[in-house]
């Protein structure tokens, strides 16, 4: 059996505001926006390289715990390649992101930084050596 990565799903109390943030921050494209039979607003997005990211609110009678942009067990962060980590941090901070750690210079020449973005999602920016 073969496996293929399909999507990442984020939960947000305001999916449209969150989706619009990803459009501004990372050039996501909103592919669809509807209310499902579960009662949640469901927005399907795509990254510029074709990865699907779904953003939805809570389903009817669903109780959600808080997000956690700190290092933690489970799905810990989303990694995004950038070409200029310093400028990207500054740009994302103007959109409401909060720098949590970095930039850190790694032995292999990469630079990384971790940020808290809307609805307490942890994002790692990665700058590869040119």
Confirm whether pTM is higher than 0.75: yes
- Cα-based distances in Å from 46 to 28, 52, 95, 107: 5, 4, 20, 32
Please compute, for residue 53, the number of CA atoms within 13 A of its CA located in the half-sphere on the CB side.
23
Q: Catalogue all structural domains in the chain, each as residue range(s) with its CATH number.
A: 7-56 (3.10.180.10), 78-127 (3.10.180.10)
pLDDT tens digit sequence for 24-69? 999 999 999 999 999 999 999 999 999 999 999 999 999 999 999 9
What per-residue string of b and e applies to 32-61 under the rule 16 or more CB within 10 Å gives b? eeeeeeeebbbbbbeeeeeeebbbbbeeee
């Amino acid at each position: 059996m073969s496996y293929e990565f399909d999507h990442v799903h984020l939960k947000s109390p305001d999916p449209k505001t969150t989706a619009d943030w990803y459009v501004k921050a990372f050039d996501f494209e909103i592919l669809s926006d509807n209310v499902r039979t579960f009662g949640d607003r469901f927005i399907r997005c795509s990254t510029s390289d074709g990865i699907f990211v779904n953003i939805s609110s809570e389903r009817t009678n669903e109780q959600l715990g808080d997000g956690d942009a700190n290092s933690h067990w489970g799905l810990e962060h989303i990694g995004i390649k950038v070409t200029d980590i310093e400028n990207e941090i500054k740009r994302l901070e103007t959109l409401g992101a909060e720098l949590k750690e970095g930039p850190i210079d790694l032995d292999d020449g990469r630079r990384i930084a971790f940020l808290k973005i809307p609805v307490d999602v942890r994002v790692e920016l990665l700058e590869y050596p040119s």
